[in-house]
Structures are given as C-alpha cells and as structure tokens.
Chains A and B, each alone.
Chain A
Amino acid sequence: MVRGPAQRQIRPARVYQTVTTLMEHRIKPRLAVQQPVWYKVVESIPPSEILTRPFPPQHRQPNPRARKASRLFQPQKLVYKEDELRKKFYTDHPWELARPRMIIEMDGKDALRCDWSKGLRQPGMPLSGECVVQRQMYLMENVPGITEDTAYDQVRKEFYKLRQEEEIERRIAQEEARMVGAYFGQTFQQVGMKLEDQQFERWKRWATREIEKIQGEQTAAYSSFDASEDPEAADLDVDSLREDLESTANTPPA
C-alpha cells in the first residue's frame, strides 16, 4: 500500500472526459465503447473544483502596520470571545477541570435548549465552568453597563452557591442512606492509602531482614574478636536503616 507523500492523481476527476474520448475516437473500429451507466449522471453533476488555493476565511483584523502579507493562503486561527473568559475561570479554579464532563452532543441543537438569562442551571447540562462562561457572556452582552469583571464576580458567586448546595445535598443524601442501612465501601483515597500502607509494611519487613543479614555478616567477620568489645563496628548503613525503621514505626500510619 502506498502511504507517505500523497500522489496527485489526475484520472479520477477526469473520468467523464476520458470516457467521452474513448467513445468518440474508436481505437478499435469494430468495437464500439458503450456508454457507461454513470455517464449522464457525471455529466449533469460534475465534480467540484479542487487544487486551487482560495483566499481562506478571515478571522482576524489585518495588521495595518505589516509591511508584507504573511501566511496569506493559509487557514487562520479561530478565536472567540469566550476563550479569554474560559481561560480566566479555569486559571482561578483549576480543580474544575478534574470533574468529569460530557462532551457528546445529542443532535447539535443542545446549545439552543439553554437560556442563560435564567441562571447557571440548565436542563440536560451539569453545572460546570462552561455554564459560568456562557452566563457571563450573556450578562456582558445583555446587561447595560456591566463590565467583564463585574459579570465574572456575579456569576462566580452564583456558581459557588450552587456548588455548595450540591455538596450539602450530596452529604444529606449520604446521611439518609446510611440511616436506613446503606453502606458505602472505601473511598478511592482510602483504597490508595491502604495500598500504600501495604507497600510500606513490605518495605519494613525487607529492611529488618537486611539489617539482620548485615549484622550477621559483621559478626561473622569479627568472630575472632571479642563480641562485647566494639559496638561501633556496625556500619553506617545499618544505623541509617535502623533509624529509618524506628522513625517510621513511631509515626502512626495516615
């Protein structure tokens, strides 16, 4: 299969002309080329023009001080007013990005079902930073005399209030459920801590074994000397390990 640099082909766009030539000029005089089924179709619906470089859609104001045109025939960047607002919101609330978000659209008319004059909560859309941005945009466009910062502050506070409400609702639901006998397993954090503790205990066992091994080697090496003579003979390595072990054993597991 041919990948790599694309090869221009001239025949596909010219099937009609090719077959017309074949039909008109009989290469074998006794053999008539029959008109293909698609002939009239392609004649009435010709392929569109390609391979011409059009002037691309312009999305920015031309720079009046530019001396020469740059990237004249290349597509331009799409920039919208919301981009700045979005950037500001997510810089201020980076953990909003950690919330799962649905980005699939149903039929493309999802935005038409939202009315941002009514607040941040919209049908079929969970509360997210996008709600803040859209509502702020609405206020900036429709409330006379409102600045970007004022609108941001107003919407931000609405957002906080709703998030708080959500949190309280969730807590109460949890309490109610616990009251009637529901139980929830460990949270992700608890699971994570448990795994970490397991590894930690493993390391402690390993470290104890290592200390014993080193000490055994040392006693074997100094077997000719009096064992009670030299307590300083222990290596630094063993000391540091033991210190580590003691300090970690004293600290309660998180």
Chain B
Amino acid sequence: MIIREFGVRQGRKALAAPLRRGQQCMRALSTETSGTPVATADPAVEAALQTSPENPTVPSLFARTAKPTRRRPVAPDTTKADWETAQQLRHNLRNVGAQVEHRYSPSDVFRNPPGPKDVTLELLMASQAHMGHHASVWNPANARYIYGIRQGIHIISLEQTAAHLRRAARVVEEVAYHGGLILFVGTRPGQTQIVTQAARLAKACHLFTKWTPGTITNSDKILPGLPVEIVNEHDQPVGGFNQHLMDRRALVPDLVVCLNPLENFTMLRECSQANVPTIGIVDTNTEPTWVTYAIPANDDSLRCLAVIGSVLGRAGEAGQKRRMEDAKNGKVTWDTPSEIKQFMDIQQKRAQWTKRAAEEEAATKDKSGGLNGKPSSGSATKDSEVFDESMQKLQMEVDAATADDVSPQLRKMSRRTD
C-alpha cells in the first residue's frame, strides 16, 4: 500500500455511511423476534409486527394453514440518498490526492473534432502527419511533398499537407453546399470510427468494409433495388416518385474521400471511369495520380487520419449548414437531375391530357343530350390519339436516356424543387 493513498481510502471509509443491513440479515442473526418495527412492504406482516408483544393475536385459521409467500420484502429505495451522500463525499474529498493533469487521449479528436480553421502545423506534427515511409520505397511522384530524409524515412512537408488539406476541405464544403453526395472510405482496421464520424458530420455516406468491385461500373447488377428517396431542398421526402424509383439506376457519389488509396485502387479506378472527383491521403509510397485531390500525410497513423477525417467532416458540416440556410431563404443550390425532370414532365403532360380528355368527353355527352342526336366523339378520339402519340414519343426519349451509358451523373439524393 502506498502511503499517499492512505488518507483517501481510509477517509472515504470513515465518512461513508455504515452498511445498511437488509431485513433478512437481521432475521438470520437473531432467532428471537425483536420489538423494533422492521420496514416491510407487506401490510399484513407490518400490522402483525406493530401489535404489542404482550397480547399476541392468535393467527387465524387461514394464516396458520397458508404457506408463507415467496415474495421478498421490498427494501426502500435509497438511490437518491446514496447519490447525495456520494456527492457530499466527493465534495469533502475534493482536495485530497494528486491533481491529474489532462494529457493526450486518442478520443479527444472524436469528442471535439477540429475543423478546417483549427489546422495548424503544430497539430499536424503532433498527430504525426509528417512521417513518411522508408526512403527506399518512395514514389518519386511525391517529391513535391517531401521535405527531407530523417533517420532513413522521408519527412512530409507539413506546409504542403496543411495547404492541400485546406483545399480538400474547401472542395468538400462546396460539394456539400451544392447538395452533392459524399462518400468517406477507410477500409483499414481502426478507421471505422474516423470514417463514420466524418460521414455523420457531413451528412455523407461511409464505407469501412471492402469495396465490392463494380459498385459503380456494374451497379445494375450489384446494387439493384436499394432504397432511394427523393427529397426536396429542405431534405424532406417527397412522394409520387415510386414509378420512377422502380426503374431508375443506382446512384453514383459526387465526391469520394479515401483514407487509404493504396488498398482501394479498384474503387478509385471506378470513380475515375465514372468521372467522380476523389480526395485521397497520399503517403510517400502512394501513387498521387490515383486521386484528384491529394493530401500528403501519413496514412499509417490513426491519429493523423482522425484529424484529417474530422477536418473534412467539419467542412462538410459547414457546407450542409449553409445549404440548409439558403434553402430556408428560398435559394436552391442544386439543379434537378435530368432524369427526374423528364419523369416530372411526363407526369405533368399525362395529367393535362387526362384532364382535357375528361372535359371533352363531358362536353360530348352534353351535346349528345341536346339538339344533335348523333354521338360526336371525333374530337375526343383525336385528342386521345394525340395524347397516345406524344406519350410514345416521351417514352422513347426516356428509353433512350436510360439505355445510354453516356450519362453517368445519376445522383443519389435526386431532388426536385417544390
């Protein structure tokens, strides 16, 4: 035992309330019945105990023959009193013992995620963003980001890291502002929390398991029938698109942030084929051309990744906030996707034609009921023919649009203005 802790332990024991004994202990300890009343929840037992021991009441026949109930007496709830005692104790002992200084904890970055404005060279250095790989495994394409060699490893220039990180944060913010779909990818062990937190902040998607090859390029086979929702500019779901959702293609993100490009070549390749810009953390052994925006940093340090992820997440959060504010003021920062626009046009025209046809029919009925006995449904048939023709034309257009592979810019959150 260490002498310093003596006061804490013994003091706490001395100040604490004595151990509260339950009723069963008392009964076990004494064979005779005591005159002191014992708190019980059973009113019958309580009444029996409260009667004076001089003239004991004869138990009734039922009480004599009845088996004792199995129900245990309920102890009074002392949670509140205990809690208050504990608080008092803590208050009394507040000056006892050593003052614990707050040092670094890996969860700090998750409790209080830094934003793009908190990025400093000191922070990046403390989170080991400057450590590259051994000089022999470098990728010469990263020469621009390397400051020097120290003890055999390349040191990444933190000025470059900070500049590229701010640039990437700006991209994330703007894409979020324009209502784009962002995807955070980190598939190494330990990156789950980083990725999910960034996605939560930026209202984005995340991936921490293996990227199924073909999720973008073969999405018709890999992601069929996944639930998609149409929302308006206030991010509220809009109904009436079930028919469209049944036969629309899967979504493609508008921006992909990858924490470990080295293991996700397939995904980055698919993104480049679908013309999706990507942001990636590029260590000294990574190929920087795989991503659109490279952030030179140490991709082996979870602390560094957590800082970068939270910075990008915060940037996305700022963009989403701006977008929602603008939406409240009546400004919509995105255009309706073309396929949804087409669907809406078709729906509108169909409604118009149906209405007109109904009107025509009503008019014909009126006429036939009047002077002219001959049923003249000529105009109505003509109208319906025209309607059918136009519907066919539109349908052909839609078919052409959906059959073509030229337009990969399908949006996840397909939106329409109200």
Contact = CB atoms under 8 A, between A and B. Distances in A.
Interface of A: 1-3, 6-13, 15, 18-19, 22, 27-28, 30-38, 40-42, 44-45, 47-54, 56-57, 59, 73-78, 104-110, 124, 173, 176-177, 180-182
25 contacts: A12-B289, A12-B292, A15-B277, A19-B275, A30-B400, A31-B407, A33-B406, A34-B337, A35-B335, A37-B179, A37-B181, A37-B411, A38-B255, A40-B174, A45-B170, A48-B167, A51-B288, A54-B144, A75-B148, A77-B149, A78-B147, A78-B150, A108-B124, A177-B1, A182-B2
B401 interface: yes
Contact of A77 (B148, B164, B273): B148
B255 to A, nearest CB: 6
Contacts of A1: 263, 265-266
A54 B143 contact: yes
B109 to A, nearest CB: 11
Contact of A36 (B125, B126, B254, B294): B254
B164 A48 contact: yes
Contact of A78 (B127, B149, B167, B255): B149
Contact of A9 (B124, B164, B289, B293): B289
Contacts of B2: 177, 182
Interface residues of B, number: 75
B125 A6 contact: no
B120 interface: yes
Given A28-B400, A28-B406, A176-B3, A11 B171 contact: no
B197 to A, nearest CB: 20
A15 B139 CA distance: 23
Contact of B268 (A3, A12, A45, A107): A12
A124 B96 CA distance: 21
A48 B294 contact: yes
A33 B409 contact: yes
Nearest to A108: B122
B275 A76 contact: no
B271 A12 contact: yes
Contact of A34 (B126, B273, B407): B407
